Chain A
Amino acid sequence: MATPARLVGVGVFVVCGLLLFTVGLFMIGDRQMAFAKKFTIFTEFRKITGLQPGSIVRVSGAKAGAIKAIAPPNVPGGKFRVEIEIAEELHPLVRMDSLASIETEGLVGGGYLGVGSGTGASPTAAAGATIASKEPFDIADLMQQMGDTIVKVNDTIQKVNDTIDEMKGDVQRAVVSGADTIDVAHKLLVDVGGDVKKMTADGARLSADAAQIAETIRKGEGTLGKLVNDDELYRRATAVATQADEIATSARQVVEQARKTLEGFQSKDGPVEGMASSLKQTMDDARKAMSGFAETMEALKHNFLLRGFFKDRGFFNLADISPAAYRQGVLTSDGARHVVRVWLQASQLFEPAPDTPAAERLTAKGKAQLDSSIGAYLDGLATGVLMVEGYAQTGTRDGEYVRSRVRASLVRDYLIGKFSLTPQMTGVMPLGRDSAGSPGNEPWDGVALAFFEAKETAKKK
C-alpha cells in the first residue's frame, strides 16, 4: 500500500518533472515572445530559405517574436506569404517602409527573420499590414548578380571612357575654333587638362580592374568555400553598379557642361570667366565621382571573395613571403607572371660605410647601375612586382642572411625613393648564399632585381 512517505516521493517527482517541463515551455515561449502582447504583420518572399513557423523574428536585431505561419504560393514563381508576430513594445520601430529579410545567426546558425527599423517619416505598420522584403541571399544568385554587375560596370566604364574621349575632343576643338579667346582657352586647358588626363587614366585603370574581376568570377576563383553567408559582396557589387551609373551621369553632365561652355567661347560674347569657373566646378564634381568609384573598386579588391584574385595581382603582403616559399616560386606558380632577373655584383654596388666599416652603403656607380637596370622594366612595374633578392657569400650562415637582407633593403629603399615605386609592390628577399640561376651558376655575392611581370603586359610589349 502507498504510505504517506511514498506519496510525498511521488508528489516530489511529479511536481519536479512538470515544473521542469513548464520551465522548458516558458524558455521557448520567451524566445518566441509567446507571452508578450503582440501584433501581426505580413511579408512575402519568393524563397524562404531556412525559415519555418516558429522561427524567431528580430526587429533591428532585438528579439521581437516569431513566425506564426507560412502560406505557400499557389502559382509557380509566386511568393510565400509569411505571417509574423511582433511584440507590441517594438511596434514603433516597425514602419511601412521597414524591410524584412532572412538572416542567419553566425556562421552555422539557424535562420531568422530580420525586420529593419523603418524611417520616422513612414507611418507605423498597422496590424495586418504587409511590409516589403529583401529576397534571401544565395550564392548562386550572388554569382549571377556579380556577373551582371561586372557587365554593367564594364559598360559604364566604357561609356565613361567614351565620354571622356568625346570631351577631350570637344575641348581640343574648342581650342582650335576659339582662336580669339586663346588666352582664356589656354587657361581653361591648363585648369581642366590635368583633370581630364587623370580621369582618363583612372577610367583605364578601373576598366582593367573590372575586366579582371569579371575574369576571376568567370574562372570561379576566389575562396568561395569560405563564403557561407556574407552578402557584403553583394552590397558592394550593387554599390559599384550604382556608382558606375552615377559616374556615367556625372560624366554626361560634364560633357554637356563642357559643350555649353565651349559654345560660350565660340559665341565670343559669353561671360567667359564665369564659364570657365563653371567648367572647373563640373570637372571637380566628375573627379569626385570618379574617386568615389575608385574607392568602391578598392573596397571590392579587399573583399575576401576576390582576395585570391587580387593577391595574384600583387595585393599580397610581400613581407609575408618566406624565402622557402619564394624559392618554390610562389609568385609565379599561378602562371600569371614571368620573372626576369638582373644580377648585380656587390663589388659594383656597395662600399664600406666611412664611419662604420662593417656596414655597407651604395656607391654612386652602383646607383647609376641600378638606374639603368630598372629603366627597361619601369612600365611593367605598374602591374608587376619587383623583388630585390639579396645574396652574400662570406661569413657565418646567419651573417650571410643578415647581410643579404641589408643589401636588398638598401637597394629597395633607393629604388623606391628614386622611382616612386609602390612600396607594397616592391619587396626584399634575403636568400643568403643560395644563388641558384645566377650567371654561370656561380655563387653570387650581391643582389638580383627580380621583375615579376604580368604575362599579358609582357605580351603587349
Chain B
Amino acid sequence: MPSLSTIDRVGASVLALFEFVGALSTFGARACVEAFRPPYEPREIARHLYQFGYRSAPLILTAGMAIGVVLSMHTRASLERFGAEAMIPAGLAIALIRETGPLTAGLLVSGRVGAGIGAEIGAMKVTEQIDALEANAVDAFKYLAVTRIIALMIAMPLLTVLMDFAGIFGGYLAEAAVSGMSWSLYFERAFTYISYSDLIPATLKTIVFGYLIAVAASYLGFSASRGTEGVGEASTRSVVMGSMLIILSDVVLVKIIFFFYPAVSG
C-alpha cells in the first residue's frame, strides 16, 4: 500500500499539472484578446518576424533539402518495387506538403525560435526588464508576448512553404542524380496529385503550431525565476513544451482537416 505521502505527492503533481494547463490556457486566451487591442506594435512584430522568419530561413531551407533527398531515396526504394518510379515526385510532394513539411518545420522552429523566446523573455524577466517596461507604462504582455505570438503565427506558414519547396527541390536533386530527370518535369509531376485541400489546410495548420510554440515559450519566459538558471530552464522547457504541443495538436488538427476536407483522407 502506498504511503500517504506518495498519494500526497501524486495529488500535488496532478494539481500542479492542472494549474500549469490552466495558467497556460489563460495566457494563450489573453494573447488572443490582447492581439485585437491597440497599440498593435507593428515595429516589434516586424523585428520578431525578421528574427523568426528571415533568420530561420537558412535552417529551414537546409533541413528541407536534406529531408527531400532522404525522402526521395526512401520513396524510390519503395516505389521501385512496383515499377512506379514516375510516382516518386508525386509521392514525395504529397508526403512533404501534407505532413512532413509542416511538422518538421514546426519542430525546427520550436527548437530555434521557441528556445529563443523562452530565453529572451526569461532573461528580461529575471533582469527586471519586464518590470522596467511596465514602469514605463508599456504593457509588457502585449509588447513581449503578443508581438512574438503574432510574428510566429505569420512566419510559421511561410517557413513551412519554404520547407515544402526546399524538400521538393532536394528530392529533385536526388532524382536528377539517379535518373537525370529535368526540373520542369519533376516539378510538374510533383504536383500531379496535390490538390488545394492538401496544400492549404496543411500549410494553414502551422499557424496553430506558431501560436502554440510562441504561447508556451512566452509563458515559460514570463514565469522564469531564480536568475540565469531559470532562464536556461525556461529555454529548455520551451522547446520540450513547444514540440509536444505541436505533435499533440497535429493529431487533432489532422482529424479536423479530415473532417472538413473528407477528400484528403481518401
Q: Are B191 and A7 in contact (CB under 8 A)?
A: no
Query: Roughly how many angstroms separate A12 CA and B58 CA in the complex, as a whole number?
Result: 13
Q: Are A10 and B50 in contact (CB under 8 A)?
A: yes
Q: Are B158 and A2 in contact (CB under 8 A)?
A: no
Is B124 in contact with chain A by the CB < 8 A criterion? no
Question: Nearest chain-B residue to A15 (Cβ)?
Answer: B158
Q: Are A21 and B43 in contact (CB under 8 A)?
A: no
Tell me the minimal C-beta distance from A319 to chain B in angstroms.
27
Question: Nearest chain-A residue to B91 (Cβ)?
Answer: A108
Residues of the B chain whose Cβ atoms lie less than 8 Å from the Cβ of A109: 84, 87
Is B183 in contact with chain A by the CB < 8 A criterion? no
Residues of the B chain whose Cβ atoms lie less than 8 Å from the Cβ of A7: 46, 50
Residues of the B chain whose Cβ atoms lie less than 8 Å from the Cβ of A110: 192-193
Is B230 in contact with chain A by the CB < 8 A criterion? no
Identify which of B192, B195, B199 gathers the most chain A CB atoms within 10 Å of its CB.
B195
Q: Are A20 and B165 in contact (CB under 8 A)?
A: yes
Residues of the A chain whose Cβ atoms lie less than 8 Å from the Cβ of B53: 10, 13-14, 17
Residues of the B chain whose Cβ atoms lie less than 8 Å from the Cβ of A31: 191-192, 194-195
Tell me the minimal C-beta distance from B124 to chain A in angstroms.
16
Q: Are A21 and B161 in contact (CB under 8 A)?
A: yes
Is B225 in contact with chain A by the CB < 8 A criterion? no
Q: Are A52 and B263 in contact (CB under 8 A)?
A: yes
Is B57 in contact with chain A by the CB < 8 A criterion? yes
Residues of the A chain whose Cβ atoms lie less than 8 Å from the Cβ of B197: 54
Q: Are A2 and B47 in contact (CB under 8 A)?
A: yes
Query: Roughly how many angstroms separate A105 CA and B82 CA in the complex, as a whole number?
Result: 13
Query: Roughly how many angstroms separate A23 CA and B199 CA in the complex, as a whole number?
Result: 11
Is A107 in contact with chain B by the CB < 8 A criterion? yes
Residues of the B chain whose Cβ atoms lie less than 8 Å from the Cβ of A28: 191, 194-196, 198-199
Residues of the A chain whose Cβ atoms lie less than 8 Å from the Cβ of B191: 24, 27-28, 30-31
The count of chain B contact residues (Cβ–Cβ below 8 Å) is 42
Query: Roughly how many angstroms separate A155 CA and B198 CA in the complex, as a whole number?
Result: 52
Is A9 in contact with chain B by the CB < 8 A criterion? yes
Is B86 in contact with chain A by the CB < 8 A criterion? yes
Q: Are B84 and A108 in contact (CB under 8 A)?
A: yes
B residues 164-204 in Cβ contact with A at 8 Å: 164-165, 187-188, 190-200, 203
Question: Nearest chain-B residue to A228 (Cβ)?
Answer: B82
Residues of the B chain whose Cβ atoms lie less than 8 Å from the Cβ of A20: 161-162, 164-165
Q: Are A10 and B54 in contact (CB under 8 A)?
A: yes
Is B31 in contact with chain A by the CB < 8 A criterion? no
Residues of the A chain whose Cβ atoms lie less than 8 Å from the Cβ of B155: 13
Query: Roughly how many angstroms separate A366 CA and B179 CA in the complex, as a whole number?
Result: 60
Q: Are B54 and A12 in contact (CB under 8 A)?
A: yes
Residues of the A chain whose Cβ atoms lie less than 8 Å from the Cβ of B203: 21
Residues of the A chain whose Cβ atoms lie less than 8 Å from the Cβ of B83: 107
Q: Are A107 and B57 in contact (CB under 8 A)?
A: no
Tell me the minimal C-beta distance from A66 to chain B in angstroms.
8
Query: Roughly how many angstroms separate A108 CA and B82 CA in the complex, as a whole number?
Result: 8
Is B266 in contact with chain A by the CB < 8 A criterion? yes
Is B157 in contact with chain A by the CB < 8 A criterion? yes
A6-B46, A107-B84 as given contacts; A25 in contact with B195, CB under 8 Å: no
Is A1 in contact with chain B by the CB < 8 A criterion? yes
Q: Are A1 and B47 in contact (CB under 8 A)?
A: yes
Residues of the B chain whose Cβ atoms lie less than 8 Å from the Cβ of A52: 263, 266
Is A18 in contact with chain B by the CB < 8 A criterion? yes
Query: Roughly how many angstroms separate A17 CA and B162 CA in the complex, as a whole number?
Result: 6
Identify which of A18, A23, A28, A30 gathers the most chain B CB atoms within 10 Å of its CB.
A28
Is B103 in contact with chain A by the CB < 8 A criterion? no
Q: Are A2 and B43 in contact (CB under 8 A)?
A: yes
Q: A31-B191, A106-B87 are in contact. List 11 more A-B contacts (CB 8 A).
A: A9-B54, A10-B53, A13-B49, A13-B50, A14-B53, A17-B157, A20-B164, A27-B191, A50-B266, A106-B84, A107-B82
Could you tell me which B residues sit within 8 Å of A by CB distance?
43-44, 46-47, 49-50, 53-55, 57, 79, 82-84, 86-87, 97, 154-155, 157-159, 161-162, 164-165, 187-188, 190-200, 203, 263, 266
Could you tell me which A residues sit within 8 Å of B by CB distance?
1-2, 6-7, 9-10, 12-14, 16-18, 20-21, 23-25, 27-28, 30-32, 50, 52-54, 105-110
Question: Which 5 A-B pairs have CB atoms at the shortest separation, nearest pair first?
Answer: A17-B158, A9-B54, A27-B191, A52-B263, A54-B195
